[in-house]
């Protein structure tokens, strides 16, 4: 009987490993390094690419070094870790790296229970999946119990099953792309907005804006916040005065049409740059896209309420390469760092 139980336990462990690896390989083995920019940069630097994603550089015929670019040059364990936003926040927090106040929540619990559970987080808050991407099922700037309950009700139909709450912090979202302890690029993302012309209503302005984004190969803004519009005193039928800026969403994500702008690294304080590099060391990850919330990245992070929002272990490269046709330069900078 004991042996039978041991056999069952061993079989379950083997099945767990197989299923877990299958999930990782099929869900997280996406690499943005499929772009021709990457392979052109490898070729320009006399680096050979194999079908199994091995890349080899030989300084002489008998002196070759090899690595693999699966998972963006990261270990599967590192990718799995940062995919879990709760574990990432815990690890960063334990290492004195600022993150928003956070906690794991059960969306089926009553609101009063969620809000009183420790750690206590005050409104406004954000509710989001612990392993979500692209701003999916993210509810931002929830200000009271009623709004929180509405968000929880919506999330009951979500494809995700684990959610977290964190404090909402006002500011722009900066995506910092780091590769092997080197900051490759920084892009600022703002809240999506339209500018009035005195003739069109808000709905028309949004449609025109989205059409232009699609024509440029970018993403439209689909997550429109009626609440945020109401705060600004408008709705979809409002005629927006000439040159008046109206923010249409609080989801600051390129996949939600957020305006993007490249930041000059020379204008970012050294203390901030060291922070961005330290995040990777703490998480033991080589390549990552770090989301940093700040009202101004050119100011030292410790002088205001600036935080690391989250870390992506298979970061999207479009936001960097599409902006100003920066693809060749962006991937050359990565390739030059691979074997250092």
144: CATH: 3.30.1490.20
Whether 65 is covered by a domain: the verdict is no
pLDDT in tens, 63-72: 999 999 988 9
Whether 57 is covered by a domain: the verdict is no
Residue-level pLDDT at 120: 82
Question: How many other β-carbons are positioned within 10 Å of the β-carbon of residue 295?
Answer: 12
Q: What stretches of 190-240 adopt beta strand conformation (E)?
A: 193-195
Q: Which of 85, 102, 30 is nearest to 290 (CA)?
A: 85
**Residues near 215 by beta carbon (within 8 Å), at least 6 away in sequence:** none
Question: How many other β-carbons are positioned within 10 Å of the β-carbon of residue 183?
Answer: 17
What pTM value is reported for the model? 0.83
Average pLDDT over residues 193-213: 96
Residues above pLDDT 90, as percent of the chain: 68
pLDDT band at 4 (very low <50, low <70, confident <90, very high): low
Q: In terms of pLDDT, which residue wins out, 300 or 119?
A: 300
Identify the DSSP state of 120: P
Residues 198 and 164 occupy one common structural domain: no
Whether 242 is covered by a domain: the verdict is yes
Residues 106 and 162 occupy one common structural domain: yes
* Residue 157 belongs to domain spanning: 101-168
Task: Compute, in degrees rounded to 10, the torsion defined by CA atoms 60, 61, 65, 66.
Answer: 140
pLDDT in tens, 279-289: 999 999 999 99
Lowest mean pLDDT among 115-119, 151-155, 319-323: 115-119
């Amino acid at each position: 009987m004991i042996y039978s139980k041991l056999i069952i336990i061993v079989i379950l462990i083997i099945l767990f490993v197989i299923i877990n690896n299958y999930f990782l390989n099929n869900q997280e083995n996406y690499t943005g390094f499929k772009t021709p920019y990457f392979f052109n940069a490898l070729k320009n630097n006399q680096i050979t690419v194999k079908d199994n994603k091995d890349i080899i550089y030989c300084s002489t015929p008998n002196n070759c070094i090899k690595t693999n670019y699966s998972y963006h040059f990261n270990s599967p364990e590192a990718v799995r870790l940062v995919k879990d936003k709760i574990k990432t926040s815990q690890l960063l927090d334990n290492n004195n790296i600022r993150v928003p106040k956070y906690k794991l929540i059960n969306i089926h619990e009553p609101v009063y229970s969620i809000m009183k559970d420790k750690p206590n987080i005050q409104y406004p808050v954000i509710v989001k999946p612990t392993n979500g991407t692209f701003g999916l099922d993210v509810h931002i700037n929830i200000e009271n119990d009623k709004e929180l309950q509405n968000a929880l009700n919506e999330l009951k139909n979500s494809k995700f099953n684990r959610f977290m709450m964190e404090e909402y912090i006002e500011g722009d979202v900066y995506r910092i792309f780091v590769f092997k302890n080197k900051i490759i690029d920084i892009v600022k993302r703002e809240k999506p907005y339209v500018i009035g012309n005195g003739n069109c209503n808000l709905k028309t302005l949004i449609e025109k804006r989205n059409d232009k984004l699609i024509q440029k190969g970018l993403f439209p803004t689909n997550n429109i916040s009626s609440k945020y519009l109401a705060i600004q005193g408008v709705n979809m039928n409002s005629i927006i005065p000439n040159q008046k800026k109206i923010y249409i969403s609080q989801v600051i994500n390129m996949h939600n049409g957020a305006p993007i702008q490249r930041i000059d690294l020379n204008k970012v304080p050294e203390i901030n740059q060291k922070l961005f590099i330290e995040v990777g060391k703490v998480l033991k990850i080589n390549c990552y896209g770090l989301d940093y919330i700040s009202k101004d990245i050119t100011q030292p992070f410790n002088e205001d309420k600036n935080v690391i929002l989250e870390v992506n272990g298979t970061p999207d490269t479009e936001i960097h390469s599409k902006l100003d046709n920066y693809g060749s330069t962006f991937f050359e900078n990565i390739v030059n760092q691979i074997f250092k």
